[in-house]
Amino acid sequence: MGNKAALWVVVLLAVMLAGCGQTAVPVTPTPAMVETATMTTVAQERFNTLRIVFWQAPEMLNPHLSGSAKDLGASRIAYEPLATFDADGELVPFLAAEIPSLANGLVAADGRSVTWKLRDDVQWADGEPFTADDVYFTYQFITNTAVQSASASVYRSVQEVKVVDTHTVQVIFTETNPAWYVPFVGFRGMILPRHLFAAYNGANAAQAPQNFMPVGTGPYYAIKNAPQEVIFLGDNLIQTNQITFAPNPYFHEADAPFFAQVILSGGGSSDEAARVVMNTGEVDFAWNLTTASDTLLPLETLGHAQLVVSFGARVERLVLNHSDPYTEVNGERSNKDAPHPFLSDARVRQALTYAIDRDSIAVLYGLSGRAVSNNLVVPPTFASPNTSYEFDLDKAAVLLTAAGWADADGNGVLDKEGVELRLIYRAPLDTIHQETQAIIRRDLAQIGVAVDLQPVDAGVFYSKAPNGVFLFQADMQELFIGMVSPDPGAYMVYWTCGQIPQAANNWSGFNLERWCSAEYDALYTQSTTVLDPERRQQLFIAMNDLLVNEVVMIPLVHLGEVSAVGTDIVGLDPTPWDSILWNIKDWRRVTP
C-alpha cells in the first residue's frame, strides 16, 4: 500500500474511534482499503462502507436479552457462536476448532454430553483472549434467572457446563439429549465476553453498556450507536437509529473482513428500505422486506439491486389470545388464569379458520409466500401430512350458530347475551401486514365477526410495550417467530405451559397464545430424551397437530425471507438457521 493510502487508513480509523471516545488500536488494512488506494476520498469511503438497513430498528444488541430477529441479526455482526448450520443443515465451525461427533469421540455414546474444542487463536475486538471461561460465563448468564434471558429455553436440557482446560468445554445434559448441537450454536449460541459482562450477570443485565455497543470475536464491533431522526408513518411516531461497526483488528481469519466500516440504519418502513436499495442504490442491503412482490419486482429491473429469497422455518400466523386481555387479574391483563370471553370456545376459533382465505393472503407475498396449514414446516420430514386448510364461510357460520352467536339487533355483527363478537387485531406497521389485515377483516365480516384493526410500529410491536406481542393486550396478533435450528425442540418448547409470558417472568416466554395443555407438555417432554429419529419425528408431528386441531393459532403463510442486495455486493450465503449476516466476513464489493 502506498504512503498516501496508508495515511488515509490511519486518519479514517482515528476519526472513527475518537468520535466514540475509544482509544485507537492497531488495525490491519482491510482488502477494501488496499483495493481502493488510488480512488478519491469520496469514492474510497463509498467503496469501503457497507450500508445496511433494517426497517425494524435494532434496539437490544445482546442476543440473550432479546427475542427479536432484528436484534439477533444486528448482534450477529459482532458476536459468534461455537458453530452454526448452513443452508444444507450442516454444522459450520466458528469459535469451535472442530465439529463434535460420535466418530471423533466428542459426542458421548449415551447422548449425555458433548465436548467442544475451541480455537486457540481468537481474541475479542478489544484484544482480550477468548477462552473456555467465556463459554462458561455465557451459560451462567443465560441460565441466571435474575437475568431473564430470552435464550434460557434453549439451555433447559443442560445440567452443567465444565471448563476442561483453557480451550475445551464439556456440556453435560440432564438426560440423554438427541439435540446436543443446540446449545452454543446459531442465534442462541453467540458467546459473550466475560470480562465485559461479569458485572452485569444479574438483575442489572439490561444496564450493560455492551448491550448497545457489542464487542465480540466477530469481524466487526460497534463504535457508535446513536438515535437519528424521528419520523411519522401514518399516525405513528418512529425513532430511527444508526449503528456503526469497525473491523475487529484481531479477527481470526486472514483477508477478512473486507469493509472498513459497516453502517446499519434502523427504523422506518419496508417500502422505504426497498426504495433506498433498489430505486436509488444509496444503501447496499435491506433485510426482511415485506413489501409486496408486484412492487419489488419492477424495482429489480432498474439494475441497482437484486432480490434474495430464502425459505426457511418462518410461518406468518394469526396468534389467538386464549386469555382475557380486558380484565385485570392480580394487576395484569391477559392473565393465563382468565379465559378469553370468546376465543376460549374452540368452535369460535375453528370458525375463524374456515373464514380466512389463506390463498388470497399468500398472493400478497408473491414469490415469498405459500398458504400453509402447519405451524412446523421444516425440515420437510417434520411437516405434518395430517392437516389441511379450507376456506368455507358456510361451515364457519354453522359453528358460530352452534356456539350461540346470532345477530339479534340486525346490525351485521353477531352477539351473545348482549355482547358483540368484536375482535381487536394488531400487526406490525407495513404495507403487506395492513393488506393482510384488510383481507381478514373482510372475510370475518362475512360471518358477522367485527374486527378493529390496530397497526403498530414494528419497534413497539416486538417490544414489551402494552401494545407489543408479549403483553398481548388484544384478541389477535399477526407475527412470525421461526426456528433457529434444524432440530424442532427449541422451537416447539414455545407452546409448553411454562413458556406463557406473565408479569412474574417479565413477559419473557414465547407461548404468546397463553394456551396450556398437559398432553402437549407430555409429548414435548418425551421428545427431549428419545434418541430414535423416527420416534422424535412422530412426536413433533403430534405436537404440531395438537396446535392446529385445537386452533391454538392459525398458520397463514410459509414465508421466504426477502432481502435486497446491491448488484456489486457478493458473498451472501443465506441459511434459514441463522441471520443472513452470519457470514458477513465474506461479503465484499466488486467493481464492474
How far is it, in rounded angstroms, from Cα 565 to Cα 572? 9
Torsion-angle region of 286 (φ positive above 0: left; ψ -120 to 50: alpha; else: beta): beta
What average pLDDT does range 519-543 have in this prediction?
Answer: 93
Number of separate helices (H) and strands (E) present in the chain: 16, 22
Burial 166-205 (b: 16+ CB within 10 A, else e): ebbbbbebeeebbbbbbbbbbbbbbbbbbebbeebbeeeb
Residue-level pLDDT at 5: 36
Q: Are 350 and 484 contained in the same domain?
A: yes
pLDDT, tens only, 236-245: 556 789 999 9
To the nearest 10°, report the CA torsion of 381, 386, 390, 394.
Answer: -160
Cell numbers linked to 524? 414435548
- Judged against a pLDDT cut of 90, whether residue 31 lies above it is answered with no
Q: Are 88 and 67 contained in the same domain?
A: no
Q: Are 548 and 431 contained in the same domain?
A: yes
Residue-level pLDDT at 348: 98
Domain that holds residue 26: 1-72+218-304+567-592
By the 10 Å C-beta count (0-12 exposed, 13-18 middle, 19+ buried), 235 is classed as exposed
pLDDT, tens only, 47-58: 899 999 999 899
Q: Are 339 and 423 contained in the same domain?
A: yes
Best CA proximity match to 289, nearest among 428, 463, 486: 428
- Output 461 or 349, whichever has higher pLDDT: 349
Q: Are 316 and 173 contained in the same domain?
A: no
Q: Are 400 and 504 contained in the same domain?
A: yes
Q: Are 289 and 436 contained in the same domain?
A: no
Q: Residue 157: which CATH number? A: 3.90.76.10
The domain tally of the chain equals 3
Please give the model's pTM, rounded to 2 decimal places: 0.69
Q: Are 266 and 393 contained in the same domain?
A: no
How far is it, in rounded angstroms, from Cα 554 to Cα 550? 10
Q: Are 420 and 535 contained in the same domain?
A: yes
pLDDT, tens only, 326-360: 999 988 999 999 999 999 999 999 999 999 999 99
Residue-level pLDDT at 368: 85
The answer, yes or no, to whether the previous bond of 379 is cis (omega within 30 of 0) is yes
What's the chain's average pLDDT? 90
Q: Residue 500: which CATH number? A: 3.10.105.10
Confidence of residue 294 (pLDDT cuts 50, 70, 90): confident
Query: Which of 147, 180, 210 is the last residue before a domain boundary?
Result: 210
Best CA proximity match to 459, nearest among 51, 53, 54, 52: 54
Residue-level pLDDT at 235: 55
Distance of CA 259 to the CA centre of its chain: 25
Q: Are 107 and 230 contained in the same domain?
A: no
Positive/negative CA dihedral, 192, 187, 555, 557: positive
Query: Which of 210, 228, 253 is the last residue before a domain boundary?
Result: 210
Q: Residue 575: which CATH number? A: 3.40.190.10
Q: Are 468 and 342 contained in the same domain?
A: yes
Residue-level pLDDT at 39: 58
- Judged against a pLDDT cut of 50, whether residue 137 lies above it is answered with yes
- Judged against a pLDDT cut of 50, whether residue 103 lies above it is answered with yes
Residue-level pLDDT at 314: 87
Least confident of 181-185, 371-375, 447-451, 482-486: 482-486
Q: Are 222 and 206 contained in the same domain?
A: no
Query: Which of 189, 210, 231 is the last residue before a domain boundary?
Result: 210
The HSE-up count of residue 165 (CA atoms within 13 Å, CB side) is 5
